[in-house]
């Protein structure tokens, strides 16, 4: 069995070492980067399986690093660590391409469970690498590309996961709770509109200017991806 390799970007030595030690005890390799200034180079030189990324670094923000990482490597799982926990912070994190979000202070076993879930999902995506289609919309899970009417559409990692979930369940209504669980692995506080915000991002990218519209809202029930209207 080969060990999976995690890059920890965290400026607080206590936190970084605590994570590294915990990961090593659970048979991972872990490297620490206290500054986060050369993430691109590090990813190019080492084959990391996931990144644990502190949001608040002295010289660069975690959001910035995440955006850079996504430009270079669209599929590496990124778990963001932060002391902030408002919905807006979460949205900014997800929008910059983070796959999951953990608020400090956290228990190591929660971090471990989340990292394992991200790695498992990344692995399944690789294994199931194929093309999903509805009307003229095409999503390739191996190359992480989306095309509508043969035009490439750029999506963030979260938008991609959300679209993939809808496409794998086409013509079935998916509830907000199910989306929150499967895509964010979080139970959002009631009343938050994160899912609706993301559905709107997706609509603008894959439906705006195209026919037929594919994303449909079922008020009080959820969303469905299908060719015909309600
Ligand atoms: Ca920090």
Task: Kindly list the protein residues that place their beta carbon closer than 5 angstroms to ligand 1, a single-atom ion.
Answer: 11, 54, 56
- DSSP for 81-118? EES---HHHHHHHHHTT-SEEEESS--HHHHHHHHHHH
* Ligand 1 mean position, distance from CA 56 (Å): 4
- Residue 2 C-alpha from the chain's centroid: 24
Determine which of 24-28, 111-115, 127-131, 147-151 has the lowest per-residue pLDDT on average.
127-131
- 190 close to 178: Cβ distance less than 8 angstroms: no
- Indicate whether this model's pTM tops 0.75: no
Query: 4-126 falls under which CATH superfamily?
Result: Response regulator (3.40.50.2300)
- Quote the CA–CA distance of 124 and 212 in Å, as a whole number: 31
- 194 close to 87: Cβ distance less than 8 angstroms: yes
* Ligand 1 mean position, distance from CA 138 (Å): 40
Domain-by-domain residue ranges, the chain? Answer: 4-126, 129-225
What's the pLDDT tens digit per position in 100-140? Answer: 989 999 999 999 999 999 998 887 766 556 788 899 999 98
Assigned CATH for 129-225: 1.10.10.10
- Phi, psi values for residue 167, rounded to 5°: -70, -35
- Quote the CA–CA distance of 179 and 185 in Å, as a whole number: 9
* Ligand 1 mean position, distance from CA 222 (Å): 37
């Amino acid at each position: 069995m080969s060990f999976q390799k995690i890059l920890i970007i965290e400026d607080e030595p206590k936190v970084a070492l605590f994570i590294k030690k915990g990961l090593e005890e659970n048979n991972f390799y872990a490297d620490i980067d206290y500054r986060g200034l050369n993430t691109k180079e590090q990813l190019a030189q080492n084959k990391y399986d996931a990144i644990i990324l502190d949001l608040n670094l002295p010289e660069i923000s975690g959001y910035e690093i995440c955006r850079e990482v996504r430009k270079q490597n669209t599929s590496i799982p990124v778990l963001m660590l932060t002391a902030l926990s408002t919905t807006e912070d979460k949205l900014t994190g997800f929008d910059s391409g983070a796959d999951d979000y953990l608020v400090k202070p956290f228990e190591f076993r929660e971090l471990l469970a989340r990292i394992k879930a991200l790695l498992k999902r990344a692995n399944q995506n690789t294994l199931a690498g194929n093309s999903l289609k509805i009307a003229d919309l095409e999503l390739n899970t191996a190359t992480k590309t989306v095309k509508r009417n043969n035009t490439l559409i750029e999506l963030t990692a979260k938008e991609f996961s959300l679209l993939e979930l809808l496409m794998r369940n086409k013509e079935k209504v998916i509830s907000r709770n199910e989306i929150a669980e499967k895509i964010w692995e979080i139970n959002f506080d009631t009343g938050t509109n994160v899912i609706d915000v993301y559905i709107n991002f997706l609509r603008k990218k894959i439906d705006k200017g195209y026919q037929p519209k594919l994303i449909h809202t079922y008020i009080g029930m959820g969303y469905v991806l299908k060719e015909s209207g309600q």
